[in-house]
Amino acid sequence: MNQLGTPKGKMKKGLFELDGDKRLFSMESRILECKLTENSELFQALASETRLRILQQLADGEMNISELQQVLGVAHPSVSKHIQVLEQAGLIVCEYRPGVQGMQKRCRLRYDRIIFSLESAKQPHGQIEEVQMPVGLYTIAYPKPTCGLASSEGIIGFFDDPQSFFLPERAKAQILWMADGFVEYVFPNNIPTSMEIYRVELSLEICSECPDYNNDYPSDITLWINGVEVGTWTSPGDFGGHRGRLNPSWWNDRLTQHGMLKIWSLDQTGSYVDGVLVSETTIDQALILPRQPITVRIGIKPDAKHVGGFNLFGRGFGNYEQDLLLRMHYHEKTSDSAAPSRRNRRELQESLKTPTSPAQESTIPDGLSS
């Protein structure tokens, strides 16, 4: 830990060197990755049912010691001791604030998600570059009602009007939704050509879309990278009934309130959602190369079993204070990791695409043309 209580690691602008036993991807994304073979203090902190219950309670918002004591039914000194263990492990943040009867200790989670890595110790250490993309800075949108978008100040354009997605104000959007269709983003990629990108991850808060909300409303949401289908995740519902912690005060309680934080990842072994294999598509097939922009498309395929749309949350809505977050893991090229030739890249890309007209290829991905 450093003086700020954050995990060790050398931080550069947009980069994190992975020389510590913990890796903090972003203070805003609130995600921690750690190896199973290390971090004994962290695992000891999690090896308690009471401490796990405390973390679960804090997931709904910050609490003081007395509030935790009442909910857990545990003696005050015991709660204080458990809080101290969690704080020393860096899992929670505590601070004293004025209360009704003097100063009170308020506790909150430091992370929303902890990822346990099973990477081999022989794998070369690399670096990570992160790019956060506001949800309104898409390059292409193909929305179908119900649809709309909003900033922290109010609705942009009109409800259920696809033309609103092309207003200049859409750049300020911090939430967007559509019952069908897609949005596409282009992420810059400044990784030097002397490096090899061996893993990419996309972190986003997302859920289904229906009128108002419905917690039981599945939707098959698909991700494409560089025009190649990466995988599909089925959202269980369009979540409401419990107000999103970041939603502005004007946002109506009967509307969608929050999503789920999902991580799509792609490496040499396949494509994953939250660590679960969803397709055999590899990073080589997606043609992710240094100094080449990365196109990300999120949408619903017309042949999907559950056509339930999606809500996409930015840092001003939902429960997670982040925009779309793309991480590129990279290291120096090795002798056996030579990049494919331009001709081979073109042949591979063509083999993964269904033939389309030039107009379709530039606007609508495979499976989304109507």
Domain assignment present for residue 204? The answer is yes
- In the structure, what pLDDT confidence band is assigned to residue 100 with cuts at 50, 70 and 90? confident
Q: How many helices (H) and strands (E) in the chain?
A: 6, 20
What would the pLDDT profile of 87-98 be if each residue is shown by its tens digit? 988 899 888 888
Check: pTM over 0.85? Answer yes or no.
no
The reply to whether 296 and 359 lie within a common domain is yes
Report how many domains make up the chain: 2
Per-residue pLDDT band for 341 (boundaries 50, 70, 90) equals very low
Residue 223 lies in domain: 124-363
Boundary residue ending a domain (115, 148, 171): 115
Residue 252: band (very low, low, confident or very high) from pLDDT cuts 50, 70, 90: very high
Percent of the chain having pLDDT more than 90? 60
Residue 101 shares a structural domain with residue 176: no
Q: What is the structure's pLDDT at 337?
A: 54
Domain identity same for 133 and 219: yes
**What digits encode the pLDDT tens for the residues 168-224?**
999 999 999 999 999 999 999 999 999 999 999 999 999 999 999 999 999 999 999
End-to-end CA, the chain: 53
Q: What is the pLDDT of residue 270?
A: 94
Please indicate, yes or no, if residue 12 is contained in any of the structural domains.
no
| pLDDT 10s digits, 106-159 | 999 888 777 776 655 555 567 889 999 999 999 999 999 999 999 999 999 999
Does the structure show a pLDDT above 70 at 349? no
Domain CATH code at residue 203: 2.60.120
Q: State residue 4's pLDDT score.
A: 38
